[in-house]
Amino acid sequence: MNSTRSGKLWNRDFFLLWQGHFVSSVGTVIYGIAVSFFVLEETGSTALMGIVGASVYIPRAIVSPYAGAVIDRVRKKRVLVACDTLAAILLISAAIIAIRGELRPATLTVIGLALGTIQAFFRPATQALLPRIVNEDNLTRANAAYSTVSSGSDVIGRFAGGYLFGLLGSAVVILVNGVTFLFSALTELFIREPIDAKRGDPDSQRRSVWNDIFQGFKLLGRIPGLRSITAAVAFLNFCGFMIVTLYVPLFYNRTGLGPPAYGVAMAMSTLGGLLGSVLFASVRIPASRRAAFFIVPGVVSNLLIVAFPYLPTLFMMSTLILVAGFVATPINVVLSTALQLSVPREYHGRVFSIVGMIGGILVPLAMVVGGALAERLPAEILIPANAMVLAIVFGAMALSRRSREFLETAVRE
């Protein structure tokens, strides 16, 4: 590879990627809150709210393997710029529909499907680009620093989302989100991506995309522990996203809370994640301790969530969920680092997409089921039940030797 990677973590290219994605993520969080409460206010149906929310995740299960094969053939930077530009066009068009007073849940579902398709390309392209612009020694810290994008944007977006929706309405919120994607696309234009010689000659570029996908699935089975980790993540995401879906009716139906209180509590959760990301961006986790940093936070953070719905004040709820968010920080950092180090670089796009597909395949079902169950059972029962299941599953992973070995070792190129 013709490398232009700097020896320092916060090099020019990493900062450009980080800041552009941060701004667009803030807009996306605000948009997500506005959509959830818009559907709930318009229809009164938590089931329909779950369906609209699930629409973003459905394309990932269908498109992700194909997207990964395409990403391995092209420059990652070009994929990112194209994705953000398309998202901007889509959202600005949706804002025009909202300004005309014609926004409906069905329209939001179609928009969600389109955004989900775009994200199916964007996410694995980002994961594949990081090891190309950051040195291997800094990769764990880079993943932690990059996770501050989601944590930091959630803090700002969730604090602002409930209030902005109430003050400005859905049209302005959607328009702002579209503008943030334009900014992100602009910053990504200036990223210098090294040329990867392993992408092959022109003849290899013309080989079947479906063959590439097949090779990605084969590699998934050859890396010890990756299949079991991926299957576990799929189940963990199912329960986790059901909890996230149930937070909305919990706050919407409880007297004295509502959208602004929801925004504050969810912002505190991600503020905890942001503080944890800052911490882990400055320290190195030894390979021999990665499994512990994955399993223990998973158990502890979910045991804290068991108590969350029963706390009597917003202050107590916000404090507890902040601590839970801080404790859970290492989970994704460890998983991303293990993937990036164990998978050969020329397979990054394919394998990351396949892992993302399998890991997220149950997410739409979780959101639909969560919304439907909330019409029959109180969220105060459903949230603790799911959190307890998550704590048990994380604990059980300590008994899986292959899972521990995958998290703690890396097959270097």
pLDDT tens digits along 120-167: 888 778 777 877 777 766 776 777 777 666 667 777 777 776 667 767
Weakest-pLDDT range from 47-51, 61-65, 234-238, 289-293: 61-65
| Tokens linked to 228 | 């079991």
Weakest-pLDDT range from 208-212, 261-265, 296-300, 379-383: 208-212
Q: How many CB atoms lie within 10 A of CB 113?
A: 16
Sign for the CA dihedral angle at 238, 241, 247, 253 comes to negative
Taking residues 390-400, report their average pLDDT.
86
Q: Residue 99: pLDDT band by 50, 70, 90 thresholds?
A: confident
Taking residues 310-335, report their average pLDDT.
89
pLDDT tens digits along 163-202: 677 677 777 888 888 888 888 888 888 888 776 555 544 4
Angle at alpha carbon of residue 1, lines to 128 and 17, rounded to 5°: 35
Q: Residue 2: pLDDT band by 50, 70, 90 thresholds?
A: very low
Is 198 a member of any domain? no
Helix (H, G, I), strand (E, B) or coil at 195: strand
The amino acid that residue 163 corresponds to is Y
Is 98 a member of any domain? yes
pLDDT tens digits along 103-127: 888 888 898 889 888 888 887 787 7
Q: Which residue did the predictor score with more confidence, 272 or 336?
A: 272
Is 333 a member of any domain? yes
Helices (H) and strands (E) in the chain, counts: 18, 0
pLDDT tens digits along 208-241: 666 767 777 777 777 777 777 888 888 888 898 8
Decide: pTM greater than 0.75: no
Beta-bridged to residue 76, according to DSSP, are none
User: What is the rounded distance in angstroms from the CA atom of residue 374 to the CA atom of residue 334?
Assistant: 33
Q: Which residue did the predictor score with more confidence, 220 or 292?
A: 292
Is 216 a member of any domain? yes
pLDDT tens digits along 9-50: 677 788 887 877 777 777 777 788 778 778 877 787 877 877
Q: What domain range includes position 354? A: 12-192+210-408
Taking CB atoms within 8 Å and a gap of at least 24, the contacts of 233-237 are 233/335, 233/355, 233/358, 233/359, 234/358, 234/359, 234/360, 234/361, 234/362, 235/362, 235/393, 236/298, 236/390, 236/393, 236/394, 237/359, 237/360, 237/362, 237/363, 237/366
Is 332 a member of any domain? yes
The per-residue pLDDT for 20 is 76
Tell me the CATH number at 164: 1.20.1250.20
Sign for the CA dihedral angle at 345, 233, 396, 243 comes to positive
Is 60 a member of any domain? yes
Is 324 a member of any domain? yes
Q: Which of 254, 242, 264 is nearest to 310 (CA)?
A: 254
Is 199 a member of any domain? no
Q: Count structural domains, the chain.
A: 1
